[in-house]
Amino acid sequence: MNITKEQIDELNAVVKVAISKEDYQDKVDSILKDYRKQANIPGFRKGQVPMGLIKKQYGKAVLVDEVNKLLQDNLNKYLTEEKLDVLGNPLPRQQENFDWENENLDFEFELGLAPSFDVSLKTKKPIVHYKIVADKKMIDDQVERIQKQYGKLVSKKEVEKGDEITGTFTNEAEEIDNKTTIELSKIKGKKALNALVGKKVGDTVSLSTKGLFKEEYLLSSALGISREKAEKLNIEVNFIVEEINERQPATLDQELFDKLFGKDNVKSEQELKERIKEDSEKQFEQQADQKLLNDVTERLIDDTKFELPADFLRKWIQISGEKMLTDDEAKEEFEKSEKGLRYQLIEGKIIKENNLQVQFEELKEFAKGFVKSQMAQYGHINPEEQELENIANRVLGNQDEVKRLSEQLMSQKLLDLYKEKANLKVKEVTYDNFVKEAYS
């Protein structure tokens, strides 16, 4: 067997594979002999079928199969030994008048080669790295929500502003009949609010659904209908008052602090606010990190210029799926995937140049951290080390989970690298301003 490469240009090449009869004949003969031993053909005893008949029936299929195996094994070996960085897979060239009867067989494969380029993390224009802080208003609002959540309900006879009302919304035409609890502080329109204030248990109030709540998503849950239906709804509904309560806020005392954070971990209102600030900013950091990762990715794609073997990739996309695509479909798919492919190449180069690797032991520790955070969501705060070890081992026994966690860990390594080496400008913002700036 002889394999040679013809370089077309920097991004395209053709590999030629010449296979002679000596490369495949022994294997083909061996398989056909096995076929002869097992063949059951009417008129012949088992194992006594003439080899000529076996070759006539199975010879070409066995030959094609064995040659294809030879091609695949040796082509992959050649690409590895020659250190050819290819995109997609080699594409076999169609050859006119190809004859499997020839003793010597010649094949050609098109290659799309990865481009050569440089990556610099020191982009000309600095990238904003947001540091989201919990401001006084946010902390005070959170304290108020805690007091409300852990406060007690006091029954009342007449509705006043700030109360909670339990009742049933009805509208026969729209088949609405849903019991719910609404907070008057969430009512948007003055007309609706005035209609509710002063009502007693047993009273019925007619309300318009349009602009009823300050937050639109509340309407669907209040009426017991889908979000899609609620968005288009503009009707009158009846609300029958069944229960009126005032929620008296919980006292900020040690009993409440212990309930929230465990015994004696928080001992004052000031410590409560510090804990809220710390926990909130830890959650915000994850959002800011994801934004940074996205922004660095976009900037690297924009700043790192290189050509791709576009014609080859369009052809590869056209034939590599479950069904053959048209030229236009392949072109559209290439345009959709080009940006992702560019970053995949950029990311691969960054990983290689900075020797970023995922070692098994650190993957296990990463898996333990993931398991621990999952357990914490269900109230299991301090699991035993052996318990974490056992669960992490089970998780890492699943190859899909290994792949997913490895990708997450590598993303974290890239993020740490970007924080260390990229041209970043730290900007301190409140959460509201972060949302406005980052996602407007």
- Round the average pLDDT of the chain to a whole number and report it: 91
- The domain made up of 152-248 has a fold known as Chitinase A; domain 3 (3.10.50)
The length of the chain in residues reads 440
Beta strands in 44-160 (DSSP E): 86-92, 105-113, 127-133, 152-155
User: In the CATH scheme, what is the homologous superfamily, with its name and number, of domain 2-113?
Assistant: Trigger factor ribosome-binding domain (3.30.70.1050)
How many Cβ atoms sit within 10 Å of the Cβ of residue 352? 9
Residue 261 has pLDDT above 90, yes or no: no
pLDDT score for 109? 95
pLDDT score for 374? 81
Model confidence at 281, pLDDT cuts 50, 70, 90, reads: very high
> CA–CA separation, 219 vs 231, rounded Å?
8
What are the Cα distances from residue 348, in Å, to 299, 340, 372, 410?
16, 12, 30, 11
pLDDT score for 103? 86
Residue 118 has pLDDT above 80, yes or no: yes
Give domain limits for the chain: 2-113, 152-248, 267-439
First to last CA, the chain: 61
What are the Cα distances from residue 316, in Å, to 79, 83, 238, 329, 410?
18, 21, 62, 12, 28
What are the Cα distances from residue 2, in Å, to 74, 77, 248, 426?
10, 13, 86, 58
Classify 158 as helix, strand or coil. Answer: strand
Q: Are 115 and 11 in contact (CB under 8 A)?
A: yes
* Beta-bridge partners for 113: 86
Give the model confidence (pLDDT) of 150-176 as tens digits.
989 999 999 999 899 999 999 999 999
pLDDT score for 19? 93
Give the model confidence (pLDDT) of 359-397 as tens digits.
999 999 999 988 888 887 776 767 888 888 899 899 899
Residue range 267-439 forms a domain whose CATH class is: mainly alpha
pLDDT score for 244? 96
Average pLDDT over residues 7-20: 95
What are the Cα distances from residue 175, in Å, to 153, 170, 201, 211?
31, 8, 23, 20
Model confidence at 66, pLDDT cuts 50, 70, 90, reads: very high
